[in-house]
Chains A and B, each alone.
Chain A
Amino acid sequence: NAGVTQTPKFQVLKTGQSMTLQCAQDMNHNSMYWYRQDPGMGLRLIYYSASEGTTDKGEVPNGYNVSRLNKREFSLRLESAAPSQTSVYFCASSEGTGYPYEQYFGPGTRLTVT
């Protein structure tokens, strides 16, 4: 039981390049989330998917797109990377409709945009 897995673990991009961050969970969870973490800012929600087939914007969605490929997988795409997107990105999952909404996190992707 791997929990939440993320790839890649590290990535360096040049400004304007695109990339997709992959996330998968094996806990049969309904809901999945993408966060970014910057020093002193805590975790900020980028996008989330309450259930397969639905996605919604979080606090900081600009510059990102997501795809809920199936119940297991939720990807985050940067179409044209900018230095302001340098951050650590975390994917998380939860049962979603259950109460309370405990979330399980992946190990993170450390992205640097030069």
Chain B
Amino acid sequence: TQLLEQSPQFLSIQEGENLTVYCNSSSVFSSLQWYRQEPGEGPVLLVTVVTGGEVKKLKRLTFQFGDARKDSSLHITAAQPGDTGLYLCAGARRGSTLGRLYFGRGTQLTVWP
């Protein structure tokens, strides 16, 4: 069973459009992270959110952690071809002291020029 459900699985849009990717769970997480992975490479951390209701902005990317710490979203404004990649959310469960992260299955984003 997947602890973190991501949607949509695939997203194909034109340059300049906005998009939102969702990451949902029935479990509570102490922190939630978003990674981006490009073909042939390992995932790279984009952001970490740790407080319920927290919003973080990274240029055109906005990340939000749900009030109940069970879900998160990634919003991209005016997408560009350089945003193309696999976006993964990952959570650390409350009470875990072993550094273990649980990953969603990812959202494959393609932005066409």
Minimum C-beta distance from A74 to chain B (A): 13
B21 at the binding interface (Cβ < 8 Å): no
If the complex has contacts A42-B105, A48-B98, are A104 and B45 also in contact, measured as CB distance less than 8 A? yes
Report the number of A-B residue pairs with Cβ-Cβ less than 8 Å. 74
Which of A13-21, A65-73, A93-101 forms contacts with chain B? A93-101
Instruction: Assess the A102–B9 pair: CB atoms within 8 A.
Output: no
Question: CB-CB < 8 A to A41: which residues of B?
Answer: 105
Which residues of the other chain, B, contact A99 by a CB distance below 8 angstroms? 30-31, 50, 92
Do B31 and A101 touch across chains, with their CB atoms under 8 A apart?
Answer: yes
A22 to chain B, nearest CB (A): 15
Q: How many residues of B contact A (CB 8 A)?
A: 27
Q: Is A46 an interface residue (CB 8 A)?
A: no
Is B98 within 8 A of A31, CB to CB? yes
Hey, which bits of chain B sit against chain A, CB under 8 A? 2, 6, 9, 30-31, 33, 40-45, 48, 50, 88, 90, 92, 96-101, 103-106
Question: Which residues on the B side are within 8 Å of A92 (C-beta)?
Answer: 42
Which 9 pairs show the lowest CB-CB distances between chains A and B? A105-B42, A100-B31, A42-B105, A31-B99, A101-B99, A43-B103, A96-B99, A50-B98, A42-B103
Q: How far is the CA of A76 from the CA of B30 in the complex (A)?
A: 29
With both beta carbons as reference points, the residue of chain B lying nearest to A94 in the complex is identified as: B99
Closest to B3 in A: A59
Q: Are B44 and A105 in contact (CB under 8 A)?
A: yes
